[in-house]
Amino acid sequence: MGGARDDVVHGAHAVTLYTPRPPARVLGIDPGLTRCGLGVVQGVPGRPPGLVAVGVIRTVAGEDISARLLAIEEEIESWLTEYRPDTVAVERVFSQRNVRTVMGTAQAGAVAIVCAARRGLPVALHTPSEVKAAVTGNGRADKEQVTTMVMRLLRMPDRPRPADAADALALAICHLWRDTATQRRAAVARSGHRTPTAGLAAAGGVRSGGDT
């Protein structure tokens, strides 16, 4: 019976859980004061994501913090205007030994969140281990493994540089896949059907991975 699908009947209409959806576009932001990675991907359930744009915002370490944050804000606003994402995914700040680095990362991340909120865009926060697990299948993968998988998934002939750019694309891919799976599970739950977990993972290329 290959190819069977679950149809839910509401009144006189049959609603399939696999109705095609329009492509979703995600802006991934890897926050940082010196380098802030930006990556936009677009995709639909069951298909590999596509690359839209990738870049890095750079600020000079010796400049005043207010000027650096303003530069980041202006560039993010420019990307939001040009690429019109449906969602913004930002890396969740986690504890590091270098408090100064954590503070700068948190400040840049807050700017990104405010830019999205100003336009009414939903914001998602993902930890590094969540991103690694979604993209490589291993929550403890190193940067080289993440970059390699990003290049393969997006069919990129050249390595995105610096690493912040690859991380931003990985964030966007992570959210695109996790959000799709979440929406599909919610639809199945509302219908009273069991979630076809294995099918979702195979369709999106998502594999489970450990957390750090």
Question: Which residues are marked as active site?
Answer: 30, 91, 164
Q: Are 168 and 76 in contact (CB under 8 A)?
A: no
Other CB atoms within a 10 A radius of the CB of residue 4 amount to 6
Q: Is residue 36 within 8 Å of 165, Cβ to Cβ?
A: no
- The 3-state secondary structure of 146-186 reads HHHHHHHHHCCCCCCCCHHHHHHHHHHHHHHHHHHHHHHHH
Report yes or no: 194 and 37 within 8 Å, Cβ to Cβ.
Answer: no
How many CB atoms lie under 10 A from the CB of residue 172? Answer: 34
